[in-house]
């Protein structure tokens, strides 16, 4: 086969493969008679698409759970932000390469350990690892930009050299180095509950030891909701790093197709997200949506082509159409639970339409760091439908005094007095102290007047004696 023939054959295979992707994304399949017209390579691609779509969806196996759509990827998840409920699960703990969605964790750690006006400096190391074709915006050694400018480049342009410089600059600012930042990324993921990830860089370029899972990426995406400025960045369509004494001008655009109004994948409910791709990871995507009632994080991994977008919308619309919130404060009757805490926007669970609160199982876990409080985890047939924080009831604390707040279980408890009694005593003591001060002031004033009167009397006697002598 000559070079020209090979190129034509390659183009034909690619064209047919793209047609297959389009057919599947529209819910179509290729008939058996049509399969006979395909080359062995094209048939293999068709079979792979069918395999991906037919992979098991674990939430579909739950009794009474609405059947979720198939996807053209190896793994997928939809998590509700306020509750942490997992509403769609397809192989969510399987290891996969994340590619550039790694940068969501890079951004989270940066937000937690720096200020937007901090400086990001580009070293030789932040540039030397780049290979031809890697996403970059053309920074040069010695360039300096702000952290805010850097995060625009990380999230919009997926700039790999900027991701490295962010990690290196923050590490050095803390008296450490680049490796310290990578360790912190892993630690932070674990703190969020992510137990199936291992990150070795801040950008996501392929490494055999750099992997994650859909559940862990959803937890990272959920944590970003604490930082509204990150969503301002993610929603930008274009950004310019202005020319200055420390850098040239750099202009770059949004990569997430669901933000473009003239694009077939545009969806107004999308409020954030990050794309990813390498040959080994295929397409990966993290997307945040908000329909005015629920905020969702959707993650799809190892997906072919633009199916990442159609799969994402299908999954989120499935949740919006089939699930509802239940107010735990109104429904929880456990004697162990006091007041439900809702200051951080939680206080509810998310369940399929028709599933009642009584059908859920609750597990109470006392908070080791905040005495008197606990985390209530609700599950439906073993699947997490939400977590809320709550005050422990007086009944529970009496039975478990070691979990009571120090003010209630310390010296006051030993003397048999309560907090209200202590406050009453404090008020009485304050009144007595105030009266004592007033009396003391009056006594001092009286004494001073007595002393002054005595002095004046002495002067009068002296004058009379002098007059008598004359």
Q: Cite the beta strand spans of 103-161 per DSSP E.
A: 119-121, 144-146
The rounded distance, in Å, linking the Cα atoms of 73 and 303 is: 4
The rounded distance, in Å, linking the Cα atoms of 80 and 281 is: 25
Q: pLDDT (tens digit, 9 = 90+) per residue, 274-311?
A: 999 999 999 999 999 999 999 999 999 999 899 999 99
Q: pLDDT (tens digit, 9 = 90+) per residue, 156-187?
A: 999 999 999 999 999 999 999 999 999 999 99
pLDDT of residue 467: 54
Q: Which of 348, 338, 345, 380 is nearest to 362 (CA)?
A: 380
Higher per-residue confidence, 12 vs 225: 225
Residue 448 in tokens: 């001073």
Q: pLDDT (tens digit, 9 = 90+) per residue, 381-396?
A: 999 999 999 999 999 9
State how far Cα 305 lies from the chain centre: 26
- CATH 3.40.710.10 is right for the domain spanning 60-322: yes
Domain-wise residue ranges, the chain: 3-53, 60-322, 332-414
The mean of the pLDDT values for the chain is 88
Other C-beta atoms closer than 10 Å to the C-beta of 329 total 14
78-82, 286-290, 454-458: range with lowest mean pLDDT:
454-458
- Residue pair 119/127 in contact (Cβ under 8 Å)? The answer is no
């Amino acid at each position: 086969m000559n070079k020209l023939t090979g190129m034509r054959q390659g183009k034909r295979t690619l064209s047919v493969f793209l047609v297959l992707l389009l057919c599947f994304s529209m819910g179509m399949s290729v008939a058996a008679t049509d399969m006979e017209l395909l080359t062995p390579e094209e048939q293999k691609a068709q079979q792979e698409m069918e395999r991906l779509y037919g992979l098991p969806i674990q939430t579909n196996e739950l009794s009474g759970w609405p059947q979720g759509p198939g996807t053209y990827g190896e793994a997928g998840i939809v998590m509700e932000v306020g509750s942490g409920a997992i509403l769609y699960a397809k192989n969510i703990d399987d290891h996969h390469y994340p590619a550039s969605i790694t940068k969501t964790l890079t951004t989270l750690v940066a937000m937690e350990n720096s200020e937007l006006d901090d400086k990001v400096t580009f070293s030789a190391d932040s540039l030397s690892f780049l290979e031809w074709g890697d996403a970059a915006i053309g920074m040069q050694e010695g360039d300096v930009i702000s952290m805010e400018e850097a995060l625009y480049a990380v999230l919009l342009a997926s700039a790999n050299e900027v991701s490295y410089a962010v990690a290196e600059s923050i590490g050095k600012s803390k008296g450490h180095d680049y490796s310290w930042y990578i360790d912190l990324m892993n630690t932070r993921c674990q703190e969020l509950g992510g137990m199936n990830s291992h990150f070795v860089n801040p950008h996501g370029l392929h490494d055999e030891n750099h992997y994650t899972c859909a559940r862990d990426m959803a937890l990272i995406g959920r944590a970003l909701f604490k930082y509204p400025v990150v969503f301002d960045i993610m929603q930008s369509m274009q950004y310019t790093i202005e020319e200055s004494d420390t850098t040239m001008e750099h202009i770059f655009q949004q990569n997430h197709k669901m933000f473009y109004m003239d694009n077939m994948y545009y969806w107004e409910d999308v409020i954030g997200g990050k794309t990813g791709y390498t040959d080994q990871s295929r397409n990966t995507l993290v997307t945040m949506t908000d329909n005015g009632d629920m905020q969702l994080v959707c993650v799809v991994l190892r997906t072919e082509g633009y199916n990442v977008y159609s799969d994402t919308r299908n999954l989120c619309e499935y949740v919006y159409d089939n699930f509802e919130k239940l107010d735990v404060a109104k429904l929880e009757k456990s004697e162990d639970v006091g007041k439900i805490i809702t200051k951080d926007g939680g206080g509810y669970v998310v369940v399929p339409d028709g599933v009642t609160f009584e059908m859920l199982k609750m597990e109470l876990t006392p908070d080791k760091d905040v005495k008197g409080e606990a985390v209530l985890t609700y599950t439906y047939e073993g699947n997490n439908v939400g977590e809320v924080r709550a005050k422990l009831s007086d009944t529970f604390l009496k039975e478990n005094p070691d979990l009571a707040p120090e003010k209630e279980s310390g010296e006051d408890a030993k003397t048999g007095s309560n907090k209200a009694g202590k406050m009453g005593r404090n008020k009485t003591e304050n009144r007595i102290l105030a009266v004592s001060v007033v009396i003391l002031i009056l006594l001092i004033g009286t004494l001073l007047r007595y002393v002054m009167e005595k002095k004046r009397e002495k002067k009068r006697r002296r004058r009379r004696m002098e007059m008598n002598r004359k």
